[in-house]
Copies of this chain bind each other. A is one copy, B any other.
Amino acid sequence: MRKNKSKYEIFREKIKIILYGTNTILGRMFDLVLLGLILLSVLLVMLDTVEGINHKYHHQLLVCEWIITAFFTLEYILRIIAIQKPVKYVFSFYGIIDLMAILPMYLSIFFPATNVLTIVRVLRFFRLFKILHIPQISHQSYQLKEALQASKEKILVFIYFVVISAVIIGALMYVVEGKESGFTSIPVSIYWAVVTLTTVGYGDISPITPLGQFLASLVMIMGYGIIAVPTGIVTAEFAKASLRNSSVSGKRTCSQCKAQLHFDNAKYCYQCGKTLPNN
């Protein structure tokens, strides 16, 4: 009995190395196969919605999808077996996404309604975020994340102003332009204001009265000056981070006053004068 269990243990170990490890050849190959299958499965869902392709190759697409689902199901089961705390994995973010990737196909047997199915299927796309855990990308995305984190509050305040501006401009344009120009309600006018302020400019709704066009021009020029603000915030953050790396770093902490931002060649804490640890 013990021997048998040990065999199972070895089997679990092996699966764990393949599924979670990235250092072994098998582990890497598995990651690449998984990446390919996720991309393929996303492609299949996409092609399935194209009228022409769906009519011709519906059967082939369905077979492919069942094969991928089978592979994902196997992977899901093996992951539960291999991991130490299966319950934690099942209810974790990636655990739920992994389940989401296989559920729609099984549900499609019982609920043939296309619309509900597609909504759930869409969630499979989130699996793509798993690829982010490939180390090369992770490093760069970490730096991006950090800079965005630092300017998060300023950007939120900025978006808050944009939203309020959009509401006020939208309401104003609704009154000025009226229903004939497509500004049928204030929510629609706010939608127009967002389309204009962000310089997207679909043109599905556009002012036709002289006053409306004049106000829209003002809004656009305002938006022109406004677009500089988030750019300025993020850029200043990037520049600071990139300059900080070159001469000042936060790697050393003063043992006395806990001050952190020291020059790379500093010997003494600038705040309390205590000797700093070596770099």
Taking CB atoms, residues of chain B closer than 8 Å to A162 are: 221, 224
A267 touches B272 (CB 8 A): yes
Taking CB atoms, residues of chain B closer than 8 Å to A221 are: 159, 162-163, 194, 198
Q: Kindly state the separation between the CA atoms of A266 and B271 in the bound complex, as whole angstroms.
A: 5
Given contacts A262-B270, A267-B271, contact A224 B225 (CB under 8 A): no
B250 touches A249 (CB 8 A): no
Report if A188 contacts B (CB, 8 A).
yes
Report if A34 contacts B (CB, 8 A).
no
Report if A147 contacts B (CB, 8 A).
yes
A171 touches B125 (CB 8 A): yes
For chain A, the count of residues having a C-beta within 8 Å of the partner chain is: 113
A193: min CB distance to chain B, Å: 9
Tell which of B42, B199, B230 touches A198, judged by Cβ atoms closer than 8 Å: B199
Interface centre among A49, A224, A261 (most CB of B within 10 A): A224
Taking CB atoms, residues of chain B closer than 8 Å to A229 are: 144, 148, 234
B271 touches A273 (CB 8 A): no
B49 touches A186 (CB 8 A): yes
Q: Kindly state the separation between the CA atoms of A268 and B227 in the bound complex, as whole angstroms.
A: 42
Q: Kindly state the separation between the CA atoms of A115 and B176 in the bound complex, as whole angstroms.
A: 10
Taking CB atoms, residues of chain B closer than 8 Å to A196 are: 200
Taking CB atoms, residues of chain B closer than 8 Å to A129 are: 164
B232 touches A225 (CB 8 A): no
A83: min CB distance to chain B, Å: 26
Given contacts A144-B154, A185-B49, A270-B267, contact A225 B235 (CB under 8 A): no
A268: min CB distance to chain B, Å: 3
Given contacts A188-B213, A199-B198, A235-B235, contact A260 B263 (CB under 8 A): no
B224 touches A224 (CB 8 A): no
Binding-face segment, A18-26, A100-108, A237-245: A237-245
Given contacts A119-B175, A235-B236, A268-B268, contact A42 B167 (CB under 8 A): yes
Tell which of B140, B224, B234, B275 touches A157, judged by Cβ atoms closer than 8 Å: B140
Return the chain B residue nearest A223 by Cβ.
B198
Nearest first, the 10 closest Cβ-Cβ pairs linking A and B are A258-B258, A268-B273, A266-B270, A202-B203, A200-B201, A236-B238, A232-B234, A232-B235, A203-B203, A228-B234
Name 16 extra pairs, CB < 8 A, besides A51-B185, A140-B156, A204-B208.
Answer: A46-B185, A49-B185, A50-B184, A50-B185, A51-B184, A118-B175, A125-B171, A128-B164, A141-B157, A201-B203, A225-B230, A228-B230, A235-B235, A246-B261, A250-B265, A268-B268
